Amino acid sequence: MALIETALRNAWILPLCLVLWLLRNRYRLSSVPGPLLNSISVLPRLWSVYRGSSHLDDLALHKKYGKIVRVAPGLVSVSDVSQLDQIYGISSQFYKSSFYDPVRLYDEEGILPDPFVLADKTLHARMKRNSANAYSLKALIQLEPLVDGVIARLFNHLDATYVETGKTCDIGEYMHFFSMDAIFTVTFGADLDFISQGDSKGFCKHVQDGIAYFACCGQVPWAHKFLLGNPYLSRFLAISGDSILDEILSIAVAQRQDAEKRILEAEHETAQATFLMTLLRNQAKSPSAINDREINAHAIGNIMAGGDTTSTALRAALRHLIDNPDVLARLLEELRQAGITPETPVSYAVASRVPYLTAVIRESMRLHPSVGMLLSRAVPDAGGLLSDGKRQYRVDAGIDVGINPWIIHRDPDIFPDPETYRPDRWLLSSPAQLAAMNRAWIPFGAGRHMCSGQHISLLEITKLIPAIVMRYHMQWEDADVSVTNHFFTIQSGMRVSLQRKKQE
């Protein structure tokens, strides 16, 4: 009885602590505008991310509150291009925040040095340096035949399965299968053939589920650590998050060991210079420059990021071309004038010099960037000062800030009439306007953490888009395309009819 009375007398302590915590949340960034509920609790933000609509919700908040908005108690969204250097620049003191904790991968030696999540700037610089030649455009051009092979398999499958039968094709799904097959082939020289299998093992879907888990847990990374430590939940959560990382790690290790075996069999100098082989050659020349764990980390990064980002960009380009027949007609004419034909593989060297194709790709990735969430950074110990050109906002150490490509790509001060798909803006703008647009165009990120694999992605996109639009007539069977944003803004419902074009 005495215990009950004591508990009742002290019952006010818990509500008081809750009130004080909410007040702390509210007033530690009180000068930064934003919704009241978002300033006191992470729940509105978590719900927005969970529903896959945070890109739209954040866009609405910026339209209401301006270029600097508080979207959660400790999270500030910035859409002012003048802040890019401070947040992401080479000399920036801002660092990778705890948002990335749920996607950090560990092996028996500790955290794997994945450049995507590394906060250690020295190690990050080492990782960028020891893989630079493997990611270079010069090296990737040598891998064009591998990509050509994946494109040929894609077209053979589409012809047999959809053109010859008249069945409706989910072309968006095949953009994902193509991207995964292409990145595996470029990285390892091994094609997992998701195109023909239709992802029968669910690997592609499993990767997307892992990324969705990361996006939600990234809002409250402490909860990720707590839940994984719960014996009743850890097995379930591993299915959503960590197991896909472990599976990709095992693939990377197996492929590296296979490549090392080929080297021992004297194929080192003659083996095709896949991404993996280039890294192994780097290691052979200078073992201290890159170790096995770092090679594994680079390979994992390709698979985790390369498939969804590229397929999202491919879907965006195809969707806008189908929706804009005048743009498609002009693109086809310029491709023909450049000597590109449906009969032979598209050469990257030729296609990349077609200005209108480049404009189509850039405009597609502007209006639909593959990443639709903040590229989060933590404010350094000295604190930070954010400016929107009108006011300055002091932010304390440890606060997360970031710029969302989906938002800044729609800044009307930089991209007039931002919701209109207009490739000509990249060809007809004044030099000053074009420079401003190029600076704000960040589908691959910005600064020192800019995506190393951007050349792989652009190689695949620049080759496949011309090839597919010259080969097929595509018409919507169901134009109800939806977008779910769990860090990657993945489209679904791109169902089309496919007909082969008559050769002129």
Q: Sign of the C-alpha dihedral, residues 298, 300, 302, 308?
A: negative
Q: Which whole-number Å values give the CA distances from 304 to 100, 190, 418, 456, in the listed order?
A: 14, 16, 30, 14
pLDDT at 225 over 70: no
pLDDT of the residue at 11: 56
Enter the tokens of residue 163. 């053109």
Contact 82, 389 (CB under 8 A): yes
The backbone region for 110, taken as left when phi is positive above 0, alpha when psi lies in -120 to 50, beta otherwise, is left
74 vs 418 pLDDT, higher one: 418
Phi then psi for residue 93, to 5 deg, are -95, -5
pLDDT at 235 over 50: no
Please name each of the domains of the chain with its CATH number. Answer: 33-500 (1.10.630.10)
181 vs 20 pLDDT, higher one: 181
pLDDT of the residue at 119: 79
pLDDT at 215 over 90: no
Q: Which whole-number Å values give the CA distances from 323 to 109, 381, 441, in the listed order?
A: 51, 49, 23
Average pLDDT over residues 223-229: 53
120 vs 18 pLDDT, higher one: 120
pLDDT at 42 over 80: yes
Beta strand 169-170 with 110-111 is: unpaired
pLDDT of the residue at 111: 74
Residue type (1 letter), 49: V
Concatenated DSSP letters of 133-155: HHHSHHHHHTTHHHHHHHHHHHH
Q: Supply the Cα-derived Rg of the chain in whole angstroms.
A: 24
Give the pLDDT band of residue 141 (cuts 50, 70, 90).
Answer: confident
Displacement of CA 256 from its chain's centroid (Å): 25
Contact 497, 170 (CB under 8 A): no
Average pLDDT over residues 255-284: 73
Displacement of CA 272 from its chain's centroid (Å): 28
Give the pLDDT band of residue 158 (cuts 50, 70, 90).
Answer: very high
pLDDT of the residue at 238: 46
Integer Cα distance of 54 and 423 in angstroms: 26
pLDDT of the residue at 388: 85
The answer to which of 67-76, 123-132, 271-280 has the lowest mean pLDDT is: 271-280
Instruction: Note the maximum CA span of the chain.
Output: 94
Which H or E run includes 467? Answer: helix 454-471
pLDDT at 244 over 80: no
pLDDT at 232 over 50: no
The backbone region for 227, taken as left when phi is positive above 0, alpha when psi lies in -120 to 50, beta otherwise, is alpha
Which residues, in sequence order, are CB contacts of 200 under 8 Å at separation 6+? none
Residue % of the chain over a pLDDT of 70: 81
pLDDT at 268 over 70: no
Contact 318, 474 (CB under 8 A): yes
Residue identified by tokens 């209006």 is 367
Burial class (CB in 10 A: 0-12, 13-18, 19+), 104: buried
Average pLDDT over residues 123-140: 88
Integer Cα distance of 329 and 43 in angstroms: 47
Enter the tokens of residue 32. 């930064």
Mean pLDDT of the chain: 84
